[in-house]
Amino acid sequence: MAVLNKIRQRSVFLIAIIALALFAFVLSDLFRNSTAFSGSQDVIATIEGEDIHRESFMSQVEMVQRQMGPNGTSTQAMNRVWDQEVRKVVLQKQFEELGLSVEKDQMRELLKQNLASIPDFSNEAGVFDENKLNEFIANLKAISPERAPLGNSMINYSDWVESENSIAVSGQQQTYFNMIKAGISSTLGEAQVEYNLENETVDLQYVQVPYSTISDSLVNISKSEISDYIDKHKKKFEVEASRDINFVEFKEVASLEDEDEINKNVVSMMNDRVEYNDVSKLNDTVLGFKNAKDIETFINTYSDVKYNDAFVKKESFPTTIQDSLFKLGVGEYYGPYKDGGMYKMTKIVAEKNLPDSVKARHILIPFLGSRSATEETIQTEEQAKATADSLLKVIKADRKKFVSLLDFSADKVSNEKEGVLDWYAYNAMVPAFRDYTFENKTGDLGVVKSDFGFHVIEILGQKGESKLIKVATLGQKIEASERTIDAAFNNVSNFEIAIQDKDFQEVAKEKDLAVKPVNGMKELDENIPGLGSQRPIVRWAFEDGTKVGDTKRFSIPGGGYVVVQLSGINKKGLMSVEAASATVIPEIRKEKKAKMIREKIKGTTVEEIAKNQNVATTNASAVNMKNPTLSGAGLEPKVVGAAFGLKVGESTGLIDGDKGVYKVKVTNKTEAPKLDNYQAVANRLTTARVNEAQTKVYNALKEAADIEDHRAKFY
Query: Rounded mean pLDDT of 70-80?
Result: 85
pLDDT number for residue 634: 92
**Mean predicted confidence (pLDDT) in 81-92:** 89
Distance CA 36, CA 41 (A): 6
Quick one: what percent of the chain has pLDDT higher than 90?
46
pTM here is: 0.62
Ranges 69-73, 386-390, 548-552, 570-574: which has the least confidence? 69-73
3.40.50.1010, 3.10.50.40, 3.30.70.260, 2.160.20.10: CATH of 357-463: 3.10.50.40
Q: Is 70 exceeded by the pLDDT of residue 453?
A: yes
Half-sphere exposure of 401 (CA within 13 A, CB side): 12
Q: H-type helices in 514-576, by residue range?
A: 535-542
Asked whether residue 639 carries a pLDDT value surpassing 90, the answer given is: yes
* Contact assessment for residue 508 and residue 247, using Cβ atoms and an 8 Å cutoff: no
Q: What is the pLDDT of residues 469-508, one digit of tens each?
A: 999 999 999 999 999 999 999 999 999 999 999 999 999 9
Residue of 177, 213, 238 whose CA lies nearest to 579: 238
Output the furthest CA–CA distance in the chain (Å, rounded): 114
pLDDT at position 147 is: 84
Across 430-448, average pLDDT:
91
What does the pLDDT average to over 251-259? 92
Task: Write down the pLDDT at residue 22.
Answer: 44
pLDDT tens, position by position, 114-132: 888 787 788 777 788 888 8
Q: SS3 string of 310-361?
A: CCECHHHCCHHHHHHHHCCCCCCEEEEEEECCEEEEEEEEEEEEECCEEEEE
CATH assignment, 201-212+584-670: 3.10.50
Which of the pair, 515 or 315, is modelled with greater confidence?
515
User: Please, which residues have CB within 8 angstroms of residue 120's CB and are 6 or more apart in sequence?
Assistant: 132, 136, 150, 151
Q: Establish whether domains 242-253+481-571 and 357-463 are of one fold.
A: yes
Instruction: Say how far apart CA 312 and CA 467 lie, in whole Å.
Output: 9
**Is the pLDDT score of 615 beyond 90?**
yes
Burial group, residue 212, by CB count within 10 angstroms (0-12, 13-18, 19+): exposed
Instruction: Convert the pLDDT of each residue in 346-378 to its tens digit.
Output: 999 999 888 989 999 999 999 988 888 887 888
Close Cβ partners of 262 (under 8 Å, ≥ 6 residues apart): 254, 343, 476, 477, 478, 479
Distance CA 56, CA 571 (A): 31
pLDDT of 7: 34
User: What integer pLDDT is reported at residue 277 of this predicted model?
Assistant: 75
Find how far residue 373's CA is from the centre of its chain. Answer: 35
Confidence label for 233 from pLDDT (cuts 50, 70 and 90): very high
In 336-461, which residue ranges form alpha helices assigned H by DSSP?
381-397, 412-415, 431-439
Mean pLDDT of 700-709: 89
Residue pair 697/180 in contact by the 8 Å Cβ criterion: yes
The whole-number pLDDT of residue 39 equals 45
- pLDDT, residue 40, reads 56
Do residues 321 and 269 touch, judged by C-beta distance below 8 A? Answer: no
Q: What is the mean pLDDT of the chain?
A: 87
Q: Please give the span between the terminal C-alpha atoms of the chain, in angstroms, as a whole number.
A: 53
Mean pLDDT calculated for residue range 191-199: 93
Residue 506: predicted pLDDT: 94
pLDDT bracket for residue 27 (50, 70, 90): very low
Mean pLDDT of 681-703: 91
Q: Which tens digit of pLDDT belongs to each residue from 288-317?
A: 888 888 899 999 999 998 998 888 888 888
Please give the CATH number for the structural domain made up of 242-253+481-571.
Answer: 3.10.50
How is the chain split into domains, by residue range?
Answer: 2-32, 201-212+584-670, 242-253+481-571, 257-353, 357-463
The reported pLDDT for the residue numbered 38 is 41
Please state, in angstroms and rounded to a whole number, the distance separating the CA atoms of residues 131 and 113. 15
